Amino acid sequence: MSTPLTNTTVAPRLFDGLERIVETQGLSLWYETRQVIHDVSLTIPAGRVTALIGPSGSGKTSLLRCLNRLSQEVPGSRMHGEVLLRGVPVRGADWPAHEVRRRIGMVFPRPNPFPLSVYENVAYGLRLLGLRRRRDLDAPVEEALRAVALWDEVAAQLDEPALTLAPGQQQRLAIARALILQPDVLLMDEPAAALDPQSSLRLEELLRQLGRRCTIVLATHNLQQAARVSDFAAFLNDGRLIEVNDTDTLFTNPLRRETEDYVTGRYG
Amino acid sequence: MRPGRPLPSAELRGDVGVWLSAACLALCIALAAGIVVVLVRAGLGPFWPQPVVELVLRDQQRLLGEIALEEGDAWILRTSETARPSDGYVRVRRAEVLQVDRPADAWVLLHADGRRSYRRAAQAPEPGATNIVAADPRNALSFGEKVASFGRNLRAYAAGGTGEGPGMLPALAGTLVLVLLMSVIVMPIGIAAAIHLHAYAGPGRIGRLVRGAVGSLAGVPSIVYGVLGLGLFVHGIGGSIDRWFYADRLPVPTFGAGGLLWAALTLALLTLPVVVVTVEEGLARIPVAQRLGSLALGATQGETLRALLLPLARPALLTAWILAIARAVGAVAPLMLVGVVKLAPSLPLDTEFPYLHPSRQFMHLGFAVYDNALASPDALVGVPHAYASALLLVGLVLTLNAAAGLVRKRLRDRYRAFES
């Protein structure tokens, strides 16, 4: 097993000038007896879009779920190693799981709006924080919906069930739902997996905009999407981190044969 | 299949299966329909006004009355009751009857003491003179008047009094209050237990053990729960309450005898497994993505349950409630041990503070069926009353089911997108 090619090994200056907002150190994850993440040490720079690429089953989703401790909700899962948020271990005593998840938001592959109105879907996270009155919620809800370019489309149907929206709208609603908590990091797990090409393009445009003001980790097996949207890219295969670099270098000039095979489509 | 024996063709085998299953289904439907038809006929039939006949016997004796029963070569004739209700039955052999008339001037008179008598008269008898409370010229009634009479009979029986026993209302009220009290007890406990099993107990060995145990509890015969209720609630808890708080009234028991509260608790025990299993299945059917979506927004397990999972599981909660009611209403045997009576002096629910009287004994439709059918002083009236009680019981269960089903359908419609 060869050492992964990361900022610590081949590109020490890769994240210069950037805050290392999330870091994993020797992270491993088991489901029952099956190990799905092998000793991953990965740095996520603040204020940039980092893409996790790799074939299906390579551990992208599992790695994302380690970052916000969602993996612990799977019965029989076991995690070794550390995840640091701004240098503090997320599994430490200072961090209850729900606090971590408020700081690290997540969007799922399939839109999963709650069976509530559009408004209540977006306000869900704030209501959990104890905000009850509608006049306290109105402004943040509108801001979150504007941030995902959904406000103009749904302003007239805020009290309609969210399930009546189109899939593309539902997915942007899910992003607004996460954004309203003003998370430090937004984890996106194949956010366009269930969308048609046009909605998918709109979503990418949104990701590029959001990437300017928020840290995004995007797990995708759509290489074009990763190339268009991300600043940095990490290639995962079989639960192992193979190579990390800025996106252009990784796609055009990979150092590992494995990476080259994948990004040129000869693999996976 | 041994070699050498040809398989029947696939189509033929399919046909046999189709016919066989269709026959079984038809049998089920016929049985269900049969129950309803029998209950309606036998339960409502006796309230339809029967013609009054006059039998002329060989010895020139004339008997006026209604034919209550045909028994082989004899008739049981209900004739005028002279001293007390139901003392007027006469057995007449058909061979002795020369002639059967239906005199148009026959009157059926109802007396204040509940007796019924038959008389031929050209004019309506004077009311009040002989304690007559009602009189009808039975054979001269038109169809419309018969329908009205049917309605009056039914109403009189339901309301009770006039020699027809306590009527149905106390038993109906007792059944309803019992089932509602039972629901109030069993639903919160059952839902909480199901939540724990679903969210916290996990799939490990202990969880499996508990689930298996809960499942087998559902199969314990109801009379066993009756004995448990008698020992644990009536004698155990009830006896202790009496010793501590009502010592001055002993040996007359207050809570130490069967009563509404103990019966409701016993039925709650009886229906608990059904509620736990149904609610847990409902929670398990909710898509994982919903739960994860809520957790990912920083909700705790408890907040996710309250804000999302329980509202989504509402159809399952209703289903659990329906099943609990169905099982509770059908369980008469345990009630006999913990407080049901043939005739309660007062309702468990009335206008007197504190309105609900949990220590009182109560009447129950299911018990009324049993009591009327087997223990009525007048078998010829009791058995039809048993059918009428049974019909009312079935009606009550169907009404409750239909109401809950309607609510459940509306909830389902709202969440339909999640079923796929």
| Chain A residues in contact with B202 (beta carbon < 8 A) | 75
Per the CB < 8 Å rule, is B297 touching A70?
no
DSSP 8-class letter at A38: E
When pLDDT is cut at 50, 70 and 90, the band that residue A236 belongs to is: very high
Q: How far is B418 from chain A (nearest CA, A)?
A: 8
- Using an 8 Å Cβ cutoff, are B341 and B408 in contact? no
Give the span between the Cα atoms of B213 and B414, in whole angstroms.
35
Residue B14 zone, left/alpha/beta (φ > 0; ψ -120 to 50; rest): alpha
The pLDDT of residue A109 is above 70: yes
> Of the candidates B313, B300, B414, which has an alpha carbon nearest to the alpha carbon of residue A125?
B300
Per the CB < 8 Å rule, is A70 touching B308?
no
Confidence at residue B129, expressed as pLDDT on a 0 to 100 scale? 64
Per the CB < 8 Å rule, is B297 touching A105?
yes
Residue B89 in contact with partner chain A when CB distance is under 8 A: no
Per the CB < 8 Å rule, is A98 touching B311?
no
Residue A235 zone, left/alpha/beta (φ > 0; ψ -120 to 50; rest): beta
Confidence at residue B312, expressed as pLDDT on a 0 to 100 scale? 86
- Please provide the size of chain A in residues: 268
**Chosen from B297, B305, B314, B418 to mutate, greatest number of chain A CBs within 10 A:** B297
Give the span between the Cα atoms of A136 and B48, in whole angstroms.
68
pLDDT tens for chain B, 420 residues: list them.
Answer: 455 666 666 555 667 888 899 999 999 999 999 998 998 988 888 888 888 888 888 888 888 888 888 888 888 888 888 887 778 888 888 888 888 888 888 888 888 777 888 888 877 777 666 677 778 888 888 888 889 888 888 887 777 655 556 677 888 888 888 999 999 999 999 999 998 888 777 667 887 888 888 888 888 888 999 999 998 888 888 888 878 887 777 777 777 777 888 899 999 999 999 999 999 999 988 888 899 999 999 898 889 988 888 888 888 898 899 889 888 888 888 988 887 777 776 777 776 666 777 777 788 888 888 887 777 777 777 788 888 888 888 888 888 888 888 888 887 776 655 543
Alpha-carbon B115 to chain mean position: 29
- Using an 8 Å Cβ cutoff, are A45 and A217 in contact? no
Residue B219 contacts by C-beta under 8 Å, 6 or more apart in sequence?
A: none
Per the CB < 8 Å rule, is A102 touching B297?
yes
| Cis omega (within 30 of 0) for bond into A167 | no
* Residue owning tokens 């049969």: B34
Confidence at residue B420, expressed as pLDDT on a 0 to 100 scale? 39
- Using an 8 Å Cβ cutoff, are B347 and B174 in contact? yes
Give Cα separations from A231 to A27, A48, A217, A236, B217 (angstroms). Answer: 23, 6, 10, 17, 60
List residues in chain A touching B: CB distance below 8 A.
68, 70, 73, 75, 97-99, 101-102, 105-106, 108, 110, 112, 114-115, 124-125, 127-129, 161, 163, 174, 177-178, 181
Q: How far is A261 from chain B (nearest CA, A)?
A: 34
Confidence at residue B419, expressed as pLDDT on a 0 to 100 scale? 44
| Chain A residues in contact with B290 (beta carbon < 8 A) | 112, 114
- Using an 8 Å Cβ cutoff, are A184 and A21 in contact? yes
The pLDDT of residue A29 is above 80: yes
Alpha helices in chain A (DSSP H): 60-67, 97-103, 118-128, 134-147, 151-154, 167-179, 197-210, 223-229, 247-252, 257-263
Confidence at residue B392, expressed as pLDDT on a 0 to 100 scale? 87
Q: How far is B289 from chain A (nearest CA, A)?
A: 6
As a whole-number percent, the residues of chain A with pLDDT over 70 amount to 96
How are strands ordered across the β-sheet holding B89-93?
B89-93, B74-79, B62-71, B53-57, B97-101
Instruction: Establish, for the pair of chains A and B, how many residue pairs have beta carbons separated by less than 8 Å.
Output: 65
Per the CB < 8 Å rule, is A161 touching B312?
no
- Give the strand pairing for B106-111 and B132-136: antiparallel
Residue B231 contacts by C-beta under 8 Å, 6 or more apart in sequence?
A: none
Per the CB < 8 Å rule, is A177 touching B297?
yes
Per the CB < 8 Å rule, is A115 touching B202?
no
| Chain A residues in contact with B312 (beta carbon < 8 A) | 115
| Cis omega (within 30 of 0) for bond into B251 | yes
Phi (first) and psi of residue A73, to 5 degrees: -80, -10
Per the CB < 8 Å rule, is A105 touching B414?
no
Taking only the tens place, the pLDDT of each residue in A11-20 is: 667 887 788 8
- Using an 8 Å Cβ cutoff, are A86 and A23 in contact? no
Confidence at residue B1, expressed as pLDDT on a 0 to 100 scale? 45
Per the CB < 8 Å rule, is A73 touching B292?
yes
Mean pLDDT of A168-175: 93
Taking only the tens place, the pLDDT of each residue in B3-26 is: 566 666 655 566 788 889 999 999
Give the span between the Cα atoms of A7 and B291, in whole angstroms.
36
Give the span between the Cα atoms of B397 and B417, in whole angstroms.
31
Name the token pair of A46: 């603040």
Give me the sign of the Cα torsion angle B231, B269, B342, B112. positive
Residue B411 contacts by C-beta under 8 Å, 6 or more apart in sequence?
A: B314, B315, B318
Per the CB < 8 Å rule, is A124 touching B417?
no
Q: Which residue has the higher pLDDT, A75 or A33?
A: A33
Question: Quick count: other Cβ atoms within 10 Å of Cβ B19?
Answer: 10
Question: Quick count: other Cβ atoms within 10 Å of Cβ B92?
Answer: 18
Per the CB < 8 Å rule, is B414 touching A161?
yes
Give Cα separations from B125 to A74, B108, B119 (angstroms). Answer: 85, 10, 9
Facing A98 at nearest CB: one of B287, B298, B418: B298
Per the CB < 8 Å rule, is B296 touching A124?
no
* Residue owning tokens 């009502």: B246
Facing B296 at nearest CB: one of A101, A129, A161: A101
- Using an 8 Å Cβ cutoff, are A70 and A79 in contact? no
> Of the candidates A229, A111, A119, A126, which has an alpha carbon nearest to the alpha carbon of residue A172?
A111
The pLDDT of residue A26 is above 80: yes
pTM of the model: 0.76
Give the span between the Cα atoms of A214 and A46, in whole angstroms.
7
Mean pLDDT of A124-130: 91
How are strands ordered across the β-sheet holding A49-53?
A104-107, A185-189, A215-220, A49-53, A232-237, A240-246
- Using an 8 Å Cβ cutoff, are B251 and B192 in contact? no
* Residue owning tokens 């409370």: B133
- Using an 8 Å Cβ cutoff, are B340 and B364 in contact? yes
Alpha helices in B218-344 (DSSP H): 222-229, 239-245, 260-285, 288-296, 301-304, 310-312, 314-330, 333-338
Report the SS3 class of residue B319: helix
Confidence at residue B5, expressed as pLDDT on a 0 to 100 scale? 66
- Using an 8 Å Cβ cutoff, are B322 and B403 in contact? no
Give the span between the Cα atoms of B359 and B350, in whole angstroms.
13
Name the token pair of B51: 């013609």
Name the token pair of B348: 């468990």
Residue B203 in contact with partner chain A when CB distance is under 8 A: yes
- Give the strand pairing for A20-31 and A43-45: antiparallel
Element containing residue A159 per DSSP (H, E): none
When pLDDT is cut at 50, 70 and 90, the band that residue A234 belongs to is: very high
Give the span between the Cα atoms of B176 and B82, in whole angstroms.
39
Name the token pair of B303: 């907040």
Name the token pair of B334: 């345990």
Residue B298 contacts by C-beta under 8 Å, 6 or more apart in sequence?
A: A98, A99, A101, A102, A125, A128, A129, A181
Give the span between the Cα atoms of B257 and B226, in whole angstroms.
13
